[in-house]
C-alpha cells in the first residue's frame, strides 16, 4: 500500500518530494477540497429544488441571495456574483496545489499506465480517475463560474433559458459526471488520508451510492430545466410567484 501511494503521488512528479512546504500544501489541498466537496453537495440540492416546482426554486434563490434583507423580498444578484468569485479563487488554489502531482512528461504517463495495469489497488485506480476528471474540470469549471460572474441573474425562467436556449446543457452534461466523480473520490481520499475513516470498504460503498444518487439528482434537475426552457418564448420574462 505504501509503495503504491509513493509511486502515484511522488515518483510521477519527483519535484514535489522532499520540499519542506509539502505537508502544508497537502493540508491546504485537503482543506480546499473539503470546501469544494461540501459546496457541491449543497449546490446540487439547492439546484434540484426546481424538481419541486418553479415557486420553490424561486424562493430558494431569494433566500440564498439575501431576500430577507430587501424591502421587496427580492434577493441581490451581486451575492451570486461575489460567491462565484470566491469559489473560483478556491478552485484555482486547489488546482494549483493538485498540479504538484500531475504527470507532466510522457514517461510519467507510461509509468502510471504500467503501474495501473500491474496492480489491483482500488485506491490507486480511484486516484487515477480523480486525476482524469480533475483535468476535465480544469477547463469546464471556469467556464461555468465565469458565466455566473458575468450573468448572475438566476431563477426558474432565467436559468431554464440559459440551459435550453443558450445551449448550456452541453456544458452541464459534461460537467456533471466529472465534478461528481472527482468530488466524491476526493472526499473519500481525504477521509482515508487523514485517518478519519479506518474501514475503507464500507466507505467505498457509500461513495459509490453517493455518485449514483448525485448523478440521478443532477440529471433530473437538468431535464427539468430543459422542459421549462422548451416552453418559454423569447424574450424570456423572469418568473414571479404572481405570474
Annotated binding-site positions: 43, 94, 144, 182
Angstrom distance (rounded) from CA 75 to CA 61 = 7
Q: What angle do CA 36, 184, 136 make, to 5 degrees?
A: 75
Positions at the binding site for heme b = 43, 94, 144, 182
Neighbours of 201 (CB within 10 A): 7
Neighbours of 229 (CB within 10 A): 21
Q: Are 40 and 87 in contact (CB under 8 A)?
A: no
Q: Are 36 and 94 in contact (CB under 8 A)?
A: yes
Cell numbers at residue 121, please? 489497488
Q: Are 240 and 61 in contact (CB under 8 A)?
A: no
Neighbours of 68 (CB within 10 A): 9
Angstrom distance (rounded) from CA 216 to CA 211 = 9
Amino acid at each position: 500500500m505504501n509503495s503504491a501511494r509513493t509511486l502515484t503521488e511522488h515518483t510521477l512528479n519527483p519535484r514535489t518530494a522532499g520540499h519542506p512546504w509539502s505537508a502544508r500544501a497537502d493540508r491546504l489541498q485537503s482543506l480546499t477540497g473539503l470546501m469544494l466537496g461540501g459546496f457541491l453537495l449543497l449546490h446540487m440540492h439547492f439546484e434540484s429544488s426546481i424538481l419541486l416546482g418553479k415557486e420553490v426554486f424561486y424562493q430558494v434563490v431569494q433566500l440564498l441571495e439575501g431576500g430577507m434583507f430587501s424591502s421587496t423580498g427580492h434577493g441581490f444578484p451581486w451575492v451570486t456574483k461575489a460567491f462565484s468569485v470566491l469559489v473560483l479563487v478556491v478552485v484555482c488554489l486547489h488546482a494549483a496545489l493538485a498540479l504538484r502531482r500531475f504527470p507532466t512528461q510522457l514517461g510519467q504517463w507510461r509509468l502510471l499506465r504500467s503501474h495501473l495495469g500491474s496492480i489491483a489497488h482500488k485506491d490507486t485506480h480511484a486516484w487515477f480517475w480523480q486525476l482524469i476528471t480533475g483535468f476535465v474540470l480544469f477547463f469546464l469549471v471556469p467556464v461555468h463560474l465565469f458565466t455566473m460572474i458575468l450573468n448572475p441573474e438566476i431563477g426558474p425562467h432565467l436559468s431554464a433559458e440559459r440551459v435550453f436556449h443558450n445551449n448550456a446543457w452541453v456544458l452541464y452534461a459534461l460537467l456533471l459526471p466529472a465534478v461528481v466523480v472527482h468530488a466524491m473520490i476526493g472526499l473519500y481520499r481525504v477521509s482515508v488520508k487523514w485517518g478519519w475513516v479506518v474501514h475503507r470498504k464500507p466507505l467505498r460503498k457509500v461513495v459509490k451510492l453517493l455518485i449514483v444518487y448525485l448523478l440521478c439528482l443532477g440529471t433530473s434537475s437538468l431535464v427539468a430545466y430543459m422542459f421549462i426552457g422548451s416552453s418559454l418564448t423569447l424574450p424570456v420574462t423572469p418568473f414571479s410567484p404572481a405570474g
